[in-house]
Amino acid sequence: MPCWNQRECLAGVAGSKRGLPHLAWPGRPGKTRFLSVIFALVAGMGNGSLHAASDLYVDPKRGNDAGNSVGSAALPFRTIAGALSQVPREPVQSVTIHLRPGVYSTTGGRGMPESQLILNRNMPRNVVVSFKGETTKADPGPPVILDWRSEYQYMVLVEHGRWRFSDLQLGTRQKTQRQGFCSEGTSSLLELENIRIRNASTAGAGIAAQRGGRTHLYGKIELNEDLHDECKDLETYSRVYAGDHGTVQFVGQGPGTLLSVGHGSLSTDYYGCIRLGCERAKITTWDPGGNNLGIANSGRIDLHGTETHLRGMHEEAGLIGLEDDGHILAEETHVILEHCKSRHAIYLQKASKVFGGPFEMRGKFQSSVVTMSGSVFGGTVTGDVTEIHAYTGSHITLESRSSKPTGRVVADSGASITLPSGKVVREQSIPPGGQPK
């Protein structure tokens, strides 16, 4: 820790009229103590609590790390690690690290892997370290690309402190870039604004929060957004994931805010929570047997008024699939479930719950809503509503504004279905066009 008189020493340096430090010494007021200032400065450096420059610059093409302790616009660093070397272990003011256009093929190392950016600083809540990509009018996409190869590790891992990334791209969809951004631990906060992610996996996360970590989203967020209409390689999956009390959420809802997932899902488990709140979300999955919204083991998703468009491009995929106490809240939320190839639209198992809507069925699924094992669905279902099935103590309520089902309505093994007319179906199978007993 700094010596007891560090603040006075620094004040003396700032206030000296002759350039010499002047310090009020206990018992000997007015005496100059130059060595005291030196000791205080050394103590401050020892715990890394002195102020860093508020703006640092990195240029992967023209920068230089060797012997550089400035990092100014005129003398930038070459790597991100070079800039981070000037951020104290306990920063007391916010710092912006300006990333100039180019491909960043390494973090730069310096106490961390060259293939993984690990961020850990002890900072007050009002302090943030930001990585800001510099944009150019000539390039409509992010001209800053973080392109190191981290294999199965997260390319960027926030362990402690508040860190922000904006206006850049992470990854180029190499098979050695399986996972993207992650906040991990209750003291971590990751903020992403106008970010494009290109990772390649069969189950990996482009954006994650776990073990109490928090990830906040702003603006336009894209994960393999170019794969909505064509995907030739299934090893290009990228999901948004929250697990073990982690939270991923949009902050601020306004025009132009967007989540676009070209091949992937939103998935949560073990009390993880994803909360949207952007203007629009479009999520496509090409994964056989996968779900666009997939929840297990007490995970939560709150669509929070976001117009959400779900598309399943494999017949074995389900658009909404929950099990083991999974929950989705879609209150006053327009959810579009587009039938491309998926057979099932909404499938709930093992005490899971979905509420809200309207859920608009575009195209005829084999089944529109299926519940079982004590699960509950309650909401408005419109459009091409086909078969409705409830089994083993589960319950479905189709609110009065719902469209009339055109397929079979089946309630079995203690389950019940409330139709838009208000009639309740129990222990019977109603053929298309039939009436409940």
384: nearest Cα among 402, 363, 401, 400:
363
Read off the pLDDT of residues 261-320 as tens digits, 9 standing for 90 and up: 999 999 999 999 999 999 999 999 999 888 999 999 999 999 999 999 999 999 888 999
Please state, for a pLDDT cut of 90, what percent of the chain lies above it.
81
Q: Is the pLDDT of residue 7 over 50?
A: no
Q: Is the pLDDT of residue 189 over 50?
A: yes
Beta strand spans in 10-143 (E): 55-58, 95-99, 102-104, 117-120, 129-133
* Residue 20 CB neighbour total at 10 angstroms: 11
pLDDT at 254: 83
pTM: 0.87
* Alpha carbon 193 to chain centroid, angstroms: 10
pLDDT at 42: 42
State the pLDDT confidence band at 51, using cuts at 50, 70 and 90. Answer: low
Sequence ranges of the domains in the chain: 1-47, 50-148
Residue whose token pair is 């699960």: 375
State the pLDDT confidence band at 21, using cuts at 50, 70 and 90. Answer: very low
Read off the pLDDT of residues 357-395 as tens digits, 9 standing for 90 and up: 999 999 999 999 999 999 999 999 999 999 999 999 999
Instruction: Please say whether the beta carbons of 364 and 387 come within 8 A.
Output: no
**CA-derived radius of gyration, the chain:** 27
Read off the pLDDT of residues 403-427 as tens digits, 9 standing for 90 and up: 999 999 999 999 999 999 999 999 9
State the pLDDT confidence band at 135, using cuts at 50, 70 and 90. Answer: confident
